[in-house]
Amino acid sequence: MSTVEPGAATSGLVDRVKSILLKPSATWDQIAAEPVTVGGLFKGYIIPLSLIAPVAGLIGSLVFGHGGFGVTFKPSIQGALISAVVDFAMGLVGVYVLSLIIDALAPTFGGQKDRLQALKVAAYSGTAAWVAGIFLIFPPLIFLMVLGLYSFYLLYKGLPRLMKTPQDKATGYTAAVVVAAIVIGVLVGILTSPLQRIGLADRGPAAGTISVGGKSVDLSELEAQSKRLEAISKQIESGKAPEAIAPDVLKTFLPAAVAGYDRTELTTSSGGAGGVNGSQAEGVYTKGEGRIRLTVTDLGAAGALAGLVNAFNVQSSSESDGKYEKIGKVDGRMTQESYDREAKRGQYSVLVGERFMVAAEGEGASMDDLKAATAAITPARLEALVKG
């Protein structure tokens, strides 16, 4: 019997991507029985898909640049290439390290150690995240990268099938692996960005800290989340996924003025893939030289996947050279904020009802202004849209 080289032909790669996204259960069963080699899996699947985000990001940065509110900068070709190569290389390392963790944890959750099967899980569960990287090519579509969270559900479905874990222990296994993936992501950020100072231990006022659920994971909460994800996935596979709120409805949540800034622009957009849809309304507010871009995004079915991240109660903070970043919960909602005090530039976002993302980005605006802008959306009104 010959050894399968996944994705050796373009059509085979495309078909596998479609099948794992749309029919994960049946596809995992097929993957479990396939003989592979480490080299074949990297060459035929991991490397081609790992290239999507770095290449899309390279093109997007060189063509459109970075920034907002009409103020953008474009990196040098050399700088953009170096960044893309580093991201690509670290991504490959991350997949392999994650596979080692999956293999090492298997016996703890009643599974069987198998290095190749673990690599399959790490590779194929990342499909949604890799494919979502294509949205880096065009800045207005970057919000759709949240669809990559579907990879968490792919992981949950693949672990018991390939690592022979009892179904009643699949949730805990998934939780442990996702926590490991979060930590790997933080470490990759430390290695690839000189501006990021997030550490795994408190090292003083200039250092960062990160904890995942206080060094523990609420498995009962995760169990509830996984059941929701399974229901959502079945709806997606059957073409009955929840419809995103119409953009024209979302734009009614953007007031004429926020925090003393008057609205000068109002736009809407919608889109999706693989049965998962989303929509967004965006307003631009100005006051003198200051600008705030306020967005309301309905993640649609992907909101349930964001809920899985919320269940981990991830908290982090970092500060260096007048810049800081924080992730945590405020009033039970996951929030993220970052600010450059010297440039008076920052961002504040809130996950509302595990369905909506409300975000404010500002130039020449204070963090208090950005927080006031997101509060003007009135999160309780958004939550009422899906509770009714």
Give the model confidence (pLDDT) of 81-100 as tens digits: 777 787 788 788 888 888 98
Can you give the pLDDT at residue 244? Answer: 75
Check whether 17 has a pLDDT greater than 50: yes
Residue 246 is classified by DSSP as: P
Can you give the pLDDT at residue 376? Answer: 94
Check whether 330 has a pLDDT greater than 70: yes
The C-alpha atoms of residue 89 and residue 46 are separated, in whole angstroms, by 11
At 243-264, the pLDDT tens digits run: 778 889 999 999 999 999 999 9
Report residue 341: phi and psi, to 5°.
-65, -40
The SS3 call for residue 273 is strand
Contacts (Cβ under 8 Å, ≥6 apart) of 360: 292, 293, 294, 295, 347, 348, 349, 370, 371, 373, 374
* Torsional class of 322: left (φ above 0), alpha (ψ -120 to 50), beta (otherwise): left
CA distances from 261 to 24, 257, 287 (A): 47, 5, 5
HEC per residue, 300-337: CCHHHHHHHHHHCCEEEEEEECCEEEEEEEECCEEEEE
Cβ neighbours of 23 (radius 10 Å): 13
Beta bridge partners of residue 330, listed in sequence order: 333
- Domain map of the chain by residue range? 10-194, 247-387
Pick the more confident residue, 240 or 195. 240
Contacts (Cβ under 8 Å, ≥6 apart) of 26: 19
Can you give the pLDDT at residue 182? Answer: 72
Cβ neighbours of 112 (radius 10 Å): 12
Mean pLDDT, to the nearest integer, of 354-367? 89
Of the candidate ranges 16-20, 95-99, 136-140, 332-336, the one whose mean pLDDT is the lowest: 136-140
Average pLDDT of the residues of the chain:
76
Mean pLDDT, to the nearest integer, of 30-45? 91
Mean pLDDT, to the nearest integer, of 165-172? 85
Q: Which range has the top average pLDDT, 57-61, 153-157, 291-295, 308-312?
A: 291-295
Pick the more confident residue, 172 or 207. 172
Can you give the pLDDT at residue 188? Answer: 60
At 271-322, the pLDDT tens digits run: 644 444 568 899 999 999 999 999 998 876 555 555 555 555 556 677 888 8
Can you give the pLDDT at residue 118? Answer: 93
Report residue 112: phi and psi, to 5°.
-115, 130
Per-residue pLDDT band at 27 (split at 50, 70, 90) = very high
Per-residue pLDDT band at 184 (split at 50, 70, 90) = low
The C-alpha atoms of residue 216 and residue 129 are separated, in whole angstroms, by 25
Q: What is the largest CA-CA distance in the chain?
A: 71
Mean pLDDT, to the nearest integer, of 29-53? 91
Sign of CA dihedral 195, 196, 202, 203: negative
Report residue 362: phi and psi, to 5°.
-130, 150
Using CB atoms within 10 Å of the CB of residue 1, give its burial: 0 to 12 exposed, 13 to 18 middle, 19+ buried.
exposed
**What angle (nearest 5°) sits at the alpha carbon of residue 383, between those of residues 378 and 388?**
130
The C-alpha atoms of residue 122 and residue 41 are separated, in whole angstroms, by 11
Can you give the pLDDT at residue 71? Answer: 44
Check whether 203 has a pLDDT greater than 60: no
Taking a C-beta distance cutoff of 8 angstroms, is the pair 247, 271 a contact? no
Mean pLDDT, to the nearest integer, of 29-39? 91
Can you give the pLDDT at residue 314? Answer: 57
Can you give the pLDDT at residue 160? Answer: 92
Residue 189: how many CA atoms within 13 Å on its side-chain side?
A: 16
Can you give the pLDDT at residue 383? Answer: 84
Can you give the pLDDT at residue 85? Answer: 80
Can you give the pLDDT at residue 116? Answer: 93
Check whether 194 has a pLDDT greater than 60: no
Taking a C-beta distance cutoff of 8 angstroms, is the pair 53, 128 a contact? no
The C-alpha atoms of residue 35 and residue 13 are separated, in whole angstroms, by 16
Can you give the pLDDT at residue 212? Answer: 39
Can you give the pLDDT at residue 33? Answer: 92
The SS3 call for residue 292 is strand
Q: Which contiguous run of DSSP H or E holds residue 388?
A: none
Of the candidate ranges 138-152, 199-213, 228-242, 252-266, the one whose mean pLDDT is the lowest: 199-213
